[in-house]
Structure 1
Amino acid sequence: MTTQEILAYVQQHPSGKVKVAVTDIDGVLRGKYIAAEKFSSIAEGRLGFCDVTFGWDMGDAAYDNVKFTGWHTGYPDALVKLDLNTFRKIPWENGTPFFLGDFVNEQDVAAYTCPRQLLRKVLSDTELQGFTPYFSQEFEWFNFIETPETAYQKGFQQLNPLSPGMFGYSILRGSLKNEYMSDLFDLLCKFGIPIEGLHTETGPGVYEAAIKYAPVMQAADQAVLFKTAVKEIAYKHGLMATFMAKISEHLPGCSGHVHQSLWDKGSRYNLFYEQKDPHKMSDLMKSYIAGQLYCLPQILPMIAPTVNSYKRLVEGAWAPTTLTWGIDNRTVALRALPGHSKTTRLETRVVGADTNPYLALSACLAAGLYGVKHKMKLEKEATTGNGYKDLSNGVLPFNLHDATQMMKQSAVAKELFGDQFVEHFTLTREWEWKQFAKVVTDWELKRYFEII
């Protein structure tokens, strides 16, 4: 739709309002409704939005360790530029118009804290090298027959799952609460998030969805909106959806695998494909994989951003622990999927469902391009068999603290994303770790209360 068509839709919509949103550093959508009349005046201008968006954590606790904003700045308004290309109609809100925005200054220079703008920067670098990146993120998540009120009342313990038991790829379980699964598929597609597949995954009340491949910025927008849209649709059915990486030590975690490939400028040729190679993998793809193997330990908090992320990255739980790659091997960090000229791609399996998609996709793309830029060779042979036992290239950091310190000190991370972003982001991860470190957990009470 043209700008004039969008403005006409907004003005004619019976609700008289527009929903706008931005993402914070954790990938949480922060937004509000604005009147249609006000929207018309700022559609191609700027909107004031409190910069506390990057001054607090996902629980609205104000950081005391970042420079960008805080009590020392008075939390002024920042400028948000709406991206009219993100226009959508919210089907579960009677077609209410919706837009995403970016944080910028008065000269339209990106705010270094803005995740969407970071991906724009990485995309720009990619295009300068003559590549068009196509990406997709797939998600697993748990669904519970709960509301926010009941979950809080239960202390988030003993929640009632949508379905009992372990039953992945179940046609039978897909029939249970089928109106919810059907709504997910239909409403997400109407909201501009095309779903290629939706099925039950192993675990009580677990679903998995694959989002259709798209240019990387569109793919990130779709992934960010997918997570919130699923939660909103779940509310409509009296359910709660969670994208936590790990809800129980007894159950598999929830992944957010990233699929990726590089194409030529015209999006005609998949540059990861090489017919003459024994594995149909081009030298470009091999360098891209080598770059990720090298960079991942140094930028891991961008794809494993929470304390909980590292509870998923344990041996035997369908998530990688080693710096490995293999061909169609689900025990490694990087799963190469060569074959057809249209479908040859790389799947980065380290990524969890709890990620900020803008940061996760930025990390994967920038790390891969690092290998391409430096003409890195994929010297390590593909892992065959159990990737958990292949320690030849090292292992991933074991917790958020260690991963954050590695990124904070990494010259590579600063080269890829800039000093200011790395400083701000790692400070937010240090804050996250400190919030966890001071809490007395249920495990400690059960372990020590009587015996010690």
Structure 2
Amino acid sequence: MTTTYVPTEEATLETIRDIIEAKNVELLHLQFVDIEGMLKSVTVTTDQLEDVAAGQIMFDGSSINGFSTINQSDLYLKPDMNTFAVLPWTEEEDYSEGRFICSVTYPDGSDFEGDPRNALKNTVDRAAALGYSVSVGPELEFFLFETDEKGRPILETQDDGGYFETSPHDDGEKVRLQVYKTLKKMGFTIEASHHEVAQGQHEINFKYADALGAADLATTYKWVIKTVAKQFGYHASFMPKPIGGANGNGMHTNISLFDKKAEANAFYETADGKELSKTAYHFIAGLLDNVDQFVAVTNPLVNSYKRLVPGYEAPCYVAWSASNRSALIRIPATRGSGTRVEIRCPDPSANPYLAYAVISAAGLDGVERELEAPVETTDDIFSMSEEEIEERGIANLPTSLAQALDAFEEGTIGVDTLGEHITNEYLELKREEWDEFRTTVHDWEVAKYQGKF
């Protein structure tokens, strides 16, 4: 069986059991993510399939970053049956392994509020209450690095290719091909695969899905790419800015609302000059109005803010445009059912469940409050002087993790969307990360100052 995130027919215990028997699946990996989006897993035998399906597999939540305390540590895994997949790299003639992506519950079966997947489900429910479903199509870039004799990554890329480079300069083509084959077997619909701008940088695009499915897909995508890269002796990195002076890794996030009552894309309107609806403009305004509050989630690392600087195609200015790629928000040319809003600041180190939750909530906030979008910025912001940027009223994104965390803590999008548990745990974790960076003496400082002073 393959993973099906937008199923025409819901997966059932019976259909999964049939696949397990046909593919000789012996082990099941029950996967979930911690507060940073790191994939976690517990492995059981297929003899326990009934207990798995019933959500009866327990684990120690106090050992998971940002989860529960030691005196309330018993948590359970509830699998999403539609995320079942046989793992292609485990398949042998008479043996294979499978996986489920799970949500986390309390012993009584209620949702655990510290689970990022549950936070996104809550946002999906909020959209549904307003009459919408949310679709997300993320674009995750990554680098392939060489490894040393012990298999540890080094800062040497595995090719010297550039944008849309072909073999023999693009040595990563063989890795992307194997990733494509693997993801296809796991139910992905792959739309494009290519070398990106920087040396050793790549992108593989997959078809959009509902918000929860898209987060499942993004999580699986990162796991598969790292697994396949390792098979070739490479290290795949989703670090936002691993190489100074080169483009960083982004996770441009395309998002749209589907009006359930009208059965149509809520962002499309033929009467408008740009063929955008009032709902689309309200959504854009909500993103722009709230971005300072959620960028700590979509760009969660100290390193994230070294990508968000002028000159490397990453947006750092709070503006929107129908086509201008120097703006934070862009409207791709496709219209009709494919009308969507692209927000360009997120990077692939973000927890996709939390990122898509806050992005969706910010846009929905604009729809609910009927916020008016500012004037479109059609000129290249990167080529403007600071005076011109200021005259046009174009704001900057936060320039450091510390600034972003302050805005996240002072705002309401975080706690209203993610809840107090995740918000407080996230802030504590990221404050510690910033303090560690702030108090560390880095190589640049030693090289710059030791001899001089």
Q: TM-score, normalised by structure 1?
A: 0.90
Contact 2:159 2:170 in 1 (8 A): no
C-alpha spacing 1:438/1:374, structure 2 compared with 1 (3 Å): same
Query: Counterparts of 1:107 and 1:275 in 2: how far apart (Å)?
Result: 50
- Partner of residue 233, structure 1: 228
Which of 36, 47, 51 is the matching residue for 1:37? 47
Partner of 1:382: 376
Match status 1:194 vs 2:195: no
Specify which of 135, 156, 163 is matched with residue 159 of structure 2: 163
Shift of 1:226: 0.3
Amino acid at match of 1:122: T
Question: What letter matches 2:221 in structure 1?
Answer: F
Say if 1:421 and 1:248 are closer, same or farther in 2 by CA, change over 3 A: same
- Name structure 2 gaps, 5 residues minimum: 1-10
Q: In the alignment, residue 376 of structure 2 is paired with which amino acid?
A: A
- The offset of 1:349, in angstroms, is 0.1
What residue identity is the alignment partner of 2:362?
Answer: A
1:16 partner amino acid: E
Count of residue pairs brought into register by the alignment: 432
Hey, what does 1:19 align to over in structure 2?
Answer: 29
Helix, strand or coil: the match of 2:192? Answer: strand
The 3-state SS of whatever aligns with 1:171 is: coil
1:352 counterpart (334, 347, 368): 347
Identity of aligned residues (%): 27
* 80-89 vs 122-131, which moves further: 80-89
Are the equivalent residues in 1 in contact too, given 2:51–2:57 (CA < 8 A)? Answer: no
- After TM superposition, give the deviation of residue 177 of structure 1 in Å: 4.8
Per the TM alignment, residue 50 of structure 1 is displaced from its structure 2 partner at its CA by 2.0
Report the Cα offset of residue 109 of structure 1: 2.6
Matches within 5 A, 1:44-443: 44-52=54-62, 54-55=64-65, 69-70=68-69, 73=70, 76-94=73-91, 95-146=96-147, 149-151=150-152, 156=154, 159-164=155-160, 166-173=161-168, 176-265=171-260, 268-378=263-373, 380-388=374-382, 389=384, 390-391=389-390, 392-443=393-444
| AA partner of residue 96 (structure 1) | E
- Cα deviation, 1:89-118, whole Å, max 9, x if unaligned, reads 111111521101111113333222211111
- Tell whether the 8 Å contact from 2:167 to 2:173 is kept in structure 1 after alignment: no
For residues 99-144 of structure 1, give each alpha carbon's deviation from its aligned partner in whole angstroms, at most 9, with x where no partner exists: 0111111333322221111100000000111111111111111002
Cα distance change, pair 14–413 in 1 and its aligned pair in 2 (3 A): closer
Please list every run of at least 4 consecutive aligned residues from structure 1 whose deviation after the TM superposition is greater than 4 angstroms.
none
Moved more, 391-400 or 19-28: 391-400
Q: CA offsets, 1:288-334, max 9 Å, x none? A: 00000011101111100111111100011111111111111110111
C-alpha displacement of 1:267: 8.6
Tell me the distance in 1 between the aligned counterparts of 2:86 and 2:172: 25
Greater shift, 390-399 or 263-272, is seen at 263-272
Residue identity in the other structure for 1:162: Q
Q: Secondary structure at the match of 1:169?
A: coil
Deviation of the 1:276 alpha carbon:
0.8
Distance 1:348 1:118, change over 3 A: same
In structure 2, distance between residues paired with 1:357 and 1:260: 13
Instruction: String of CA shifts for 1:252-305, please: whole Å, max 9, x gaps.
Output: 110001001111227941110110100111000000000000111011111001
Task: Report the residue type matching 1:381 in the other structure.
Answer: V
Contact 2:159 2:169 in 1 (8 A): no
